[in-house]
Amino acid sequence: MAYPDDLLSPSEHVVIHRHPHWKMLLFPVFWLLVVVAIGTYLAGLVVDQSWATIAWIALAVIGVVLVMWLTIAPLVRWRTTHFIVTSDRVMAREGVFKRTGLDIPLSRINSVRFEHSLLDRVLGCGTLIIESASDEPLEFDDIPSVEKVHSLLYREVNDNPDDDFHPRTLDGRA
CA 105: distance to chain centroid? Answer: 21
Place 22 in a pLDDT band, splitting at 50, 70 and 90: very high
Does residue 134 belong to any structural domain of this protein? yes
Question: Do the beta carbons of residue 83 and residue 92 sit within 8 Å?
Answer: yes
Residue 98 has phi, psi (to 5 degrees) of: -110, 105
Cα 121 from Cα 87, distance rounded (Å):
27
State whether 50 and 121 are in the same domain.
no
Among the listed residues 99, 67, 77, the one whose alpha carbon sits nearest the alpha carbon of residue 19: 77
Among 33, 50, 77, the domain boundary falls at: 77
Q: Write down the pLDDT at residue 107.
A: 86
CATH of the domain at 149: 2.30.29.30
Instruction: Specify the number of domains making up the chain.
Output: 2
pLDDT, tens digit, 9 for 90 and up, residues 63-106: 999 999 999 999 999 999 999 998 888 999 998 889 899 988 88
State whether 70 and 149 are in the same domain.
no
Cα 18 from Cα 21, distance rounded (Å):
8
Cα 15 from Cα 85, distance rounded (Å):
5
Angle at alpha carbon of residue 25, lines to 16 and 97, rounded to 5°: 75
Does residue 166 belong to any structural domain of this protein? no
Residue 149 region by backbone torsions, left for phi larger than 0, else alpha for psi between -120 and 50, else beta: alpha
Q: What range defines the domain where residue 67 resides?
A: 25-77
pLDDT of 171 strictly over 60: no
Does residue 165 belong to any structural domain of this protein? no
Does residue 173 belong to any structural domain of this protein? no
pLDDT of 1 strictly over 60: no
Helices (runs of H) and strands (runs of E) counted in the chain:
5, 7
Does residue 124 belong to any structural domain of this protein? yes
pLDDT, tens digit, 9 for 90 and up, residues 41-71: 999 998 888 888 899 999 999 999 999 999 9
pLDDT of 174 strictly over 60: no
89-94: strand order across its sheet: 14-18, 82-86, 89-94, 100-105
